[in-house]
Amino acid sequence: AQKITQTQPGMFVQEKEAVTLDCTYDTSDPSYGLFWYKQPSSGEMIFLIYQGSYDQQNATEGRYSLNFQKARKSANLVISASQLGDSAMYFCAIAGGGNKLTFGTGTQLKVEL
């Protein structure tokens, strides 16, 4: 069984500042992947970033980086230089060998001027 915990229901950040969204996980799979998705108010699910459990380096994709701490079972998302368009719900997810995603409850991010 796999579980994702996102403890921040809502977050505020000023435009151009960096923000960290927390995610902890639990899994019995020896090999797994961690994912972050963005869901704007329009409803679509947008893939942001992926980290494999055996990857030595933290994943980065443009302004997104994943702070992966395996011993702590955490996979926090860092968004640098926040923009108004970053306002959305953010979901952390985990997949084991079968690649079925287990999602957390999400963090609602609001970027303010």
Partner 1 sequence: DSGVTQTPKHLITATGQRVTLRCSPRSGDLSVYWYQQSLDQGLQFLIQYYNGEERAKGNILERFSAQQFPDLHSELNLSSLELGDSALYFCASSPRAGVQPQHFGDGTRLSIL
Q: Does 96 interact with partner 1 (rule: CB under 8 A)?
A: yes
Instruction: Write the interaction track for partner 1 spanning residues 50-89; mark x where CB under 8 A is met and - where it is not.
Output: x-x-------------------------------------
Distance between CA atoms of residues 96 and 99, nearest Å: 5
In three-state form (DSSP H/G/I as H, E/B as E, the rest C), the secondary structure along 28-71 is CCCCCEEEEEEECCCCCCEEEEEEECCCCCCCEECCEEEEEECC
Q: Does 6 interact with partner 1 (rule: CB under 8 A)?
A: no
Which parts of this chain interact with partner 1 (CB under 8 A)? 31-33, 35, 37, 43-47, 50, 52, 91, 93, 95-103, 105-106
